[in-house]
Chains A and B, each alone.
Chain A
Amino acid sequence: MKRFDSTVTELQPVASDYFRITFQWPVTLPLPQPGCFLTVSAGSGFDPALRRPFAFSDVDPARGTAAFIFQRRGRGTAWLAERRPGDSLDVLGPLGAGFRAPPSGARPVLVAGGIGLGPMLFLARQLHQTAAAGRNEVPILVLGYRSASQAPSVDLPPGSVICTDDGMRGFHGSAVAYLDQLADALPPYYYACGPVAMMAAIDRLAAARAGQADWQAATEQWMACGVGACQGCVIPFKDGGFKRCCADGPVFNGRMVDWVGLQE
């Protein structure tokens, strides 16, 4: 990990209030893996005082760039949405431990809700590549949105499924409802990133299915240091303990996370 001043190469709107920002990634740094994140310092001076965390959605070693997809929500992301090519971007990363490979013989089923899009797209592309090399089964990417207008205009890997609550596009219903009715010769192995309510529902589904002792959840929590020093970003676990989202995660076995505690 390193803190450095990068340069924005592209800022592209991908849906209403969603953007993909691409910036230079020095070849001397480790290549970010799906599930890993970075923090950026938004605004100027020390206001806001805290860096903002985002999960990588892309790396392009040939062009020396990396990217993340973000939603404009508050002052940090509003500032980010105003960046233009050539602007500098204060980046700290790569941080955290990414996703682990799926078990053999299982279908990687990747679920993205809301701002979980970036890391899931990144993972889906990587699992398609490793599937082509015979290292795992071909993954399915499932994206959930309230309405068709919220669905992003990004290149989705083949076999991706869009679910909308209003049924205006793709599967009519939530991403979890889609998983529930999915019939497949292979047992599913879930990866997910999205709102806590969605993660909790996936966990219940995983628990209900025999043999799903493990699924991979990319978690989110407010962060201060991002490097494991402050204990601010902890995620509650079902055993009553806590783990640091930034340094022990952000990817955890979803069965272990106390989703009810996290939602409260």
Chain B
Amino acid sequence: MDLRVNIGGLTLANPVGVASGTFGYGDEYAGLFDIDRLGALYTKAVTPEARAGNRTPRLADTPAGMLNSIGLANPGLDSFITDKLPALRQRRCAVIVNVAGTCPEEYQAVVERLETVEGLAGYEINISCPNVKAGGLALGTDLKLVESLTRRLRDCRQRPERPLIVKLSPNVTDIAEIARAAEAGGADAVSCINTLVGMVIDVQKQRPVLAMGTGGLSGPAIRPVGVACVYKVSRAVGIPIIGLGGIGCLDDALQYFLAGASAIQIGTALFRRPECALEILDGLAPWLEANHLSSVTEIKRLLKV
């Protein structure tokens, strides 16, 4: 069975990827399953300068999910290129860099520089991180900014074979509008969803569990939100959609494909069961065969609404 999918000119060996921020730079999970079988690996966000991240605690457990307020902790662009990229390049799966910054110029600085190095398959533009004060979510909720940022990055890109994937936030009134703005700015694809803003309060201590107060909610709890977002966005844009949010098993992934996704990412579920990504991958071909389909992109046609 041919599981290949096309994301804005980039062919992925299969539609199963691992989500930014949950998989580090790949080698952390190397002993636990065969990473090379994945279709794509989305790195932790890369910003121009190193970021230490937020104060602790950064994590809280929630019903069927979790909150995080990592704060885009990453070693910065230089260190990413010298320390992380050499090992990532050895991977057989497509390596897509999650790009973040506090202003459009910072996003541009990251993409411009990465255009000069080999071994990357594309960019996922994180305009939707709820855990940083500047940039992040603020960028991702403004239609004009989304369009102009996307156009700016598209214009500085030297390698059109590396798709520009804009990662959308569910923390907006109408995610479809934002997707349209990204498409108008020249995005090759969108991924949705990033985390939802959430808060857990420790009743005994009468204060939020997270040092930053709020964080991003992820895991099975947000899956219905993610599926609805993909469904809405698929009716609004013509570019491919990468679906994520709470995927942990084949049925979860199929919901996203039915809603209109061409590929998926697995995040929080890896924490509980790292190899679930490969279990989903292994379940896809038999499911397609049983349903007389020849590719994953045909799945969406089965949805009856």
Contacts and interface: CB of A to CB of B under 8 A. Distances in A.
Contacts of B32: 1-3, 92, 227
A234 B63 contact: no
A262 interface: yes
A41 B28 CA distance: 19
Contacts of B23: 229
B145 to A, nearest CB: 27
A48 B66 CA distance: 9
A167 interface: no
B22 A46 contact: no
A242 B219 CA distance: 25
Interface in B223-279: 248, 268-275
Nearest to B73: A231
Given A225-B28, A227-B29, A230-B68, A50 B272 contact: yes
Interface string B55-89: 11111111111101010010000000000000000
A228 B24 contact: yes
A229 B61 contact: no
Nearest to A233: B59
A46 B272 contact: yes
Given A1-B31, A46-B220, A46-B272, A222 B60 contact: yes
A49 B53 contact: no
B193 to A, nearest CB: 16
Interface residues of A, number: 36
Contacts, number: 112
Interface string A1-14: 11100000000000
B24 to A, nearest CB: 3
A261 interface: yes
Interface string B192-207: 0000000000000000
A229 B24 contact: yes
A224 B215 CA distance: 14
Contact of A224 (B31, B220, B271): B271
Contacts of B44: 229, 231
Given A1-B31, A49-B64, A247-B28, A234 B53 contact: yes
Given A228-B24, A229-B29, A46 B64 contact: yes
A3 B270 CA distance: 12
8 contacts: A47-B64, A48-B64, A49-B219, A49-B221, A222-B59, A227-B32, A228-B24, A232-B58
Interface of A: 1-3, 41, 45-51, 90, 92, 221-236, 240-242, 247, 261-262, 264
Given A227-B29, A236-B55, 7 more contacts: A46-B269, A49-B61, A49-B66, A49-B271, A224-B59, A231-B70, A242-B53
